[in-house]
Amino acid sequence: MTFSEIVRALGRRWYVVLLGLLLTGWLGYGAWVLTPPVYTARGLLLLLPSDQAVGEGGNPFLVLGGLDLPARILVAYYESDVAKDQVAEVAPDAEYVVAIEESTRGPVIAVDVKEKTPEAAVAALGYIADSIPRELGRLQQEVDAPPESVVQSMQLTMDEEATTDNSGTVRALIAAVGAGLVTTGLMALGADGLALRRRDTVRQKSSGADGAAARATAAGGPVQVVQVPGAASRRPADAPVPLHPVASPPDGRPQPVPSQPSQPAPRNVAPQPAPSQVAPPQAAPASPATPPHATPQQAAPPTPLRTVPGQQPSARPVAIPPTAPPRRPDAEERPDAAENPRWHVVGRGGEQQPQVTDAETG
């Protein structure tokens, strides 16, 4: 799916996008409230060598090389549970880290404190910074270090005001907003795909029904006009008559209609004058009847109709031998009656033709 298709899908399901944006806003607000900003304070302390190591008139900063080990021992103490419990008694919500400052070469100890309020952060930092010289002296006393070889400490820097730290809040806000936007997009695309799939299913069903009717009509099958009994009273006068296609045989030719015997012609016919020639009347070709209520759209294509049995015109004139009329007492015997018998000729459409003798036809 391309970017333009995604944009169009989101535009079609704008209501889902709007609902998702509202939910995303609530998620962002909740992330901001649940993860408020914290306040940090930082201090640096430096360990100084003993008076014995410096000597009389010496410079302590020139002999800092051997103080890394005492600094690491002090850092390890503040990572213990005993030191954490002592700090928790003063600042229960404080989070602190005591570590060697890696940005400098020397026995520099960094103290970082996090608190919910700036005042609490500064107070916790001051408590830890004041406890470092005390704990350093206690550790040296426990090992019976001589007073002239005791290592001391001094404060290099100490924050007087706490700094606001919004990194945690920003991370939570980004996670909440990102999750909300992704969920909104997936919901909108899913709703659009479901709606399009449902619309395609409806179109396929309707096109399948229309295609079946079109294939039946294109196959050349005749269409039968069906009149439902009693439907005339329920259908309006201007309603079209439904046309139902009739299936054709596999070879495509129309099915033959069974013929019924026509009514027999009368056998006794009065004599009529014979014309000079016998010309069978030309019957007009039968035209398909148009349904009485068919609309112009339905009556436009010519549709062959089923022929009514008994009205099929004959292809050739049929000669039927006459029946002799009843003899009257005063009728005279014609001498040429036996030589020239008369025939009744029936032409197209079953109509009777004038009588013609064999002499006239010969």
Q: How many residues would you count in the chain?
A: 362
The arithmetic mean of pLDDT across residues 159-171, rounded, is: 90
The arithmetic mean of pLDDT across residues 275-289, rounded, is: 48
By CB atoms closer than 10 A (0-12, 13-18, 19+), residue 305 is: middle
Is the pLDDT assigned to residue 200 strictly greater than 50?
yes
Question: Which tokens is 22 given?
Answer: 């509202």
Which residue from 359, 282, 283, 352 is spatially nearest to 320, judged by alpha carbons? 352
pLDDT the model gives residue 100: 93
Is the pLDDT assigned to residue 39 strictly greater than 80?
yes
Which residue from 152, 122, 121, 149 is spatially nearest to 134, judged by alpha carbons? 152
The arithmetic mean of pLDDT across residues 66-94, rounded, is: 91
Out of 3.30.70.1130, 1.10.10.60, 3.40.50.620, 3.60.10.10, the CATH code matching 38-165 is 3.30.70.1130
Spatial contact of 170 and 191, defined as CB atoms under 8 Å apart: no
Interatomic CA distance for residues 35 and 23, integer angstroms: 18
Question: Which tokens is 294 given?
Answer: 């068919």
Is the pLDDT assigned to residue 69 strictly greater than 50?
yes
Is the pLDDT assigned to residue 271 strictly greater than 90?
no
The residue behind tokens 């002799």 is: 324
The arithmetic mean of pLDDT across residues 304-332, rounded, is: 51
176: confidence class by pLDDT, cuts 50, 70, 90: very high
pLDDT the model gives residue 295: 46
Considering the chain, what percentage of its residues have pLDDT values greater than 90?
32
Interatomic CA distance for residues 49 and 254, integer angstroms: 121
DSSP H helical segments within the chain, as ranges? Answer: 3-12, 14-34, 51-54, 68-78, 81-90, 118-142, 167-218, 231-234, 296-299, 358-361
For the whole prediction, is pTM greater than 0.75? no
Q: Which helix (H) or strand (E) segment is 46 a member of?
A: strand 38-48
Q: Mind giving me the DSSP string for 54-114? A: H-TT--GGGG-TT-HHHHHHHHHHHTSHHHHHHHHHH-TT-EEEEEE-TTSSSSEEEEEEE
Is the pLDDT assigned to residue 329 strictly greater than 60?
no
**Radius of gyration over alpha carbons of the chain, in Å?**
59
CB atoms within 10 A of CB 120: 20
pLDDT the model gives residue 326: 56
The arithmetic mean of pLDDT across residues 147-159, rounded, is: 90
Interatomic CA distance for residues 298 and 243, integer angstroms: 9
What is the domain partition of the chain in residue ranges?
Answer: 38-165
pLDDT the model gives residue 195: 87
The residue behind tokens 């008139």 is: 57
Is the pLDDT assigned to residue 40 strictly greater than 50?
yes
Interatomic CA distance for residues 327 and 353, integer angstroms: 23
Higher pLDDT, 163 or 324: 163
